[in-house]
Homo-oligomer: A and B are copies of this chain.
Amino acid sequence: MSNSTIVEVAKLAGVSVTTVSRCLNSPEKVGKKTLARVRRVIEEINFSPNMLAQNFRRGKTNIILVVVHEIGSWLFAEILEGIRAVLGTRYSIILTESRPEVNDNNFIEMLVTKQVEGVILLCSTLPFSKKLIEKNKSKSLPIVIGLEPISADLDQFPSVHIDNYQAAYDATQYLITSGHRDIVFVSGPKHSFVTKDRELGFCAAIQSSELSLDEANILHSDLTSNGGVNAAMEIFARSVMPTAVFCANDDMALGVLGLASRRGIRVPEELSIMGFDDTRYAAIANPPLSTVFQPARDIGIGAAKRLLRAIDSPEDSAVKAEILPHRLVIRSSTGPRG
């Protein structure tokens, strides 16, 4: 199939290859009758242009790179779906994971080698951020950031995310309003920028109430269910237990919830647990998890649209962050202080 080339089509249609090429790429510049004839031939011999040759000639790869922290998570899958929805037909998407276990220091090599036309960053911690900026400078590689606020050196790029600070503030305030006085926040790794913002929001909410902020009430752990379990072990070992735990993401919260139930701690009577993300497992947890919803799909769509804009008109560099709305989702894992 498709060993046929543009010259064959030209021959059969009795036109030049130039004309055939135009029929393919800018049909409006071709006479109606000619166009029809060429199209018929294309149809007949089932011709489709060799994309390899096109890419080469045009110097375009039609590839964009998406860097996620971890592909397995529901959140990223959702964002990706959004990205695909807008980029799907035009670009192929190459995925790279940024977590250290994945040996993708060939990341930069990818940029050179695969010659990607744009990058969407969905992760905060980049070992290679300087390199990236350098690339962006020298080759004007379009970059947009999604989901996470990012290190200061990357804040020159457009981004799409919720107000993590405010969201955490809201969630914390909800817990305070429910009567909780002793709330611990389980944050992510110290270098994580998303969770940093959420941590700040938590602190601010605590301080704007009459409560005092206890440093011991901020824990750092992995953003996984296992990380949640570990944090929970530390919390449950305390002589005086908090009455509420607010986790920086749902997976952690699910981990805390899991250990709580294994330890016979009643949720929410003895302990309220709040997550973040509104992952699909939050709703079916036992008890169903209260959490903060963020519009993952829209984040993907937004990021992709911005990237497209950046690619199509590099000069118009409206570098501003696009803030999407978040929403508290209160289910049964939280309640008034017991």
Q: A interface vs B, CB < 8 Å?
A: 1-2, 48, 50-53, 55-56, 59, 61, 63, 70-74, 77-78, 80-81, 89, 92-95, 102, 106, 112-115, 135, 138-139, 225, 228-229, 254-255, 257-258, 261-262, 280-281, 283-288
Q: List 9 A-B contacts (CB under 8 A).
A: A1-B138, A48-B112, A52-B55, A52-B115, A72-B280, A81-B102, A229-B284, A257-B286, A286-B286
Contacts of A135 in B (CB 8 A): 1
Return the 5 tightest CB-CB contacts between A and B, nearest first.
A72-B77, A258-B284, A56-B56, A261-B286, A286-B286
A255 to B138, alpha carbons, bound, how many Å?
A: 51
A155 to B287, alpha carbons, bound, how many Å?
A: 44
**A71 adjacent to B61 (CB under 8 Å):** no
A246 shortest CB reach to chain B, Å: 18
**B89 adjacent to A80 (CB under 8 Å):** no
**B92 adjacent to A63 (CB under 8 Å):** yes
**A112 adjacent to B1 (CB under 8 Å):** yes
A70-B77, A285-B285 given; 12 more Cβ-contact pairs under 8 Å: A1-B139, A51-B61, A51-B113, A52-B52, A52-B59, A72-B77, A92-B92, A261-B286, A262-B287, A262-B288, A281-B281, A285-B286
Checking B51, B81, B225, B262 against A115 with a beta-carbon cut-off of 8 angstroms, the contacting residue is B51
A223 to B78, alpha carbons, bound, how many Å?
A: 18
A267 shortest CB reach to chain B, Å: 9
**B63 adjacent to A71 (CB under 8 Å):** no
Closest chain B residue to A101 by CB distance? B81
A28 to B74, alpha carbons, bound, how many Å?
A: 47
With A48-B113, A55-B52, A55-B56 as given contacts, are A225 and B281 in contact (CB-CB < 8 Å)? yes
Contacts of A56 in B (CB 8 A): 50, 52-53, 55-56
Checking B2, B52, B73, B258 against A285 with a beta-carbon cut-off of 8 angstroms, the contacting residue is B258
A56 to B77, alpha carbons, bound, how many Å?
A: 32
